[in-house]
Amino acid sequence: MFELNIFQILLLIGLGNALILLVSFTQIRRKYRKPALYLGLFIVGYLAYQSNFTVIPVIQSKLSFVIPNLPTLLFLPALFLFFVESTFNPDFRIEGKYKFFLIPGFFDVIQQIVSWLYVLNHPAGPIHDFLTGRGKHFTMEGLGIVFSLLCFFYAIRKLIRTRTKKKKTDAYTFYKFVLAGLAIILGRWIATYFIDLFAPGSYHFNWQYYFWLFDTGFLLYTGYKILVSPKVLKSDSGGFSLPENDHPSVMSNRLEKALKEKKLFLKPTLTRADLAEELGVSEVYISSLLNEEMRASFYELINRYRFEEALRLIQAGKLNQITVEALAKEAGFKSKSTFNKVFKKQTGTTPTRYVIQK
């Protein structure tokens, strides 16, 4: 049997609770589900990462077999950022620039697999010592700190740029609490990293267990608070609002004008963030404007403009000169399949048959 101390047992219990939370988040109301799931994955990933230093070493010592660390570290900052973005933007998707935030995580997966295979087949040597010692540890931890600071900066900027009706609301208080707790975790992580780097052995490892227990308690409390009261995740809880000086009808006209004159829809990777930047407002404003004033989702609106552009090109004889796929891209669609789907929904037929019928 594996002999675990009380700290390791408590951390395992915490990981089990995090998994229960994640499953529970799949059952809450749809409008709150996406940000809750991102946060749930963050909590599970963080507590799983702790097991690399608590449980996995115990298992390795008993089995005398090298077990790869769980590659969750470099996914965590991205998951936290996605949690913040999906909270302020109901239609948030991992696309455009946000895809790049997943690259460090996939890099972590690949390097863990390669390192594990190398260590299994090369039981000695300088590379083996690097991969199983302090060299790799400090390299990956350093990358994690830098990436975490970047994502934390983006999250803070999102909160600062989002206007609030008033400061003392459940939503605003909740986000201050979450950011304060994560700031403590991040600050302590940076401090211990440099202490261990420049003064190894200056603090007892058992202290780290107390830190991890604090992290576990804080994250589980945050998760259960959302499970009990998911409305703190959304603007309809009274935490966030539209700019006061811009009437929705005026802003919708400005948006329509920008789309028509600047043809922003021709950019295949266009996002709500781009529209928000164009109007000088927040993404939550854009989402509310689309849903409440313009009665359309982001993709419905943009695809309508792209369809009209494609129809104009077809009527001008463009389809006689280029392929359907090329015309779709010229109209701003990402793919031919999306273009055909939108075109058929609007006309009842495919682009090719439409030309023949005309």
| pLDDT of amino acid 244 | 43
* 126 and 255 inside one domain: no
* 232 and 271 inside one domain: no
- Specify whether the CB–CB gap between 48 and 15 falls below 8 A: yes
CATH of the domain at 23: 1.20.1070
Residue 1 lies in a domain: no
**Distance, CA of 248 to CA of 251 (rounded, Å):** 5
Question: Which stretches of the chain are DSSP H helices?
Answer: 6-25, 30-54, 56-63, 76-88, 103-121, 126-132, 134-161, 170-198, 206-228, 248-262, 272-279, 283-288, 298-315, 324-330, 336-347, 351-357
> 311-341 pLDDT, tens per residue?
999 988 888 889 999 999 999 999 999 999 9
* 177 and 269 inside one domain: no
Residue 243 lies in a domain: no
Tell me which residue has tokens 């998707």: 93
| pLDDT of amino acid 133 | 87
* Domain total of the chain: 2
* 195 and 277 inside one domain: no
Residue 242 lies in a domain: no
CATH of the domain at 343: 1.10.10.60
pTM of the predicted model over 0.85: no
Domain of residue 293, residue span: 248-357
* 122 and 265 inside one domain: no
* 188 and 210 inside one domain: yes
Which parts of the chain register pLDDT below 70? Answer: 1-2, 90-91, 161-172, 234-247, 358
* 231 and 338 inside one domain: no
| pLDDT of amino acid 48 | 95
| pLDDT of amino acid 243 | 44
* 215 and 256 inside one domain: no
* 232 and 119 inside one domain: yes
Phi-psi region of 317 (alpha: psi -120 to 50; beta: other; left: phi over 0): left
* 193 and 71 inside one domain: yes
DSSP label at residue 252: H
* 312 and 284 inside one domain: yes
Residue 128 lies in a domain: yes
> 48-88 pLDDT, tens per residue?
999 998 888 888 777 777 788 889 999 999 999 999 888 87
| pLDDT of amino acid 74 | 96
Residue 288 lies in a domain: yes
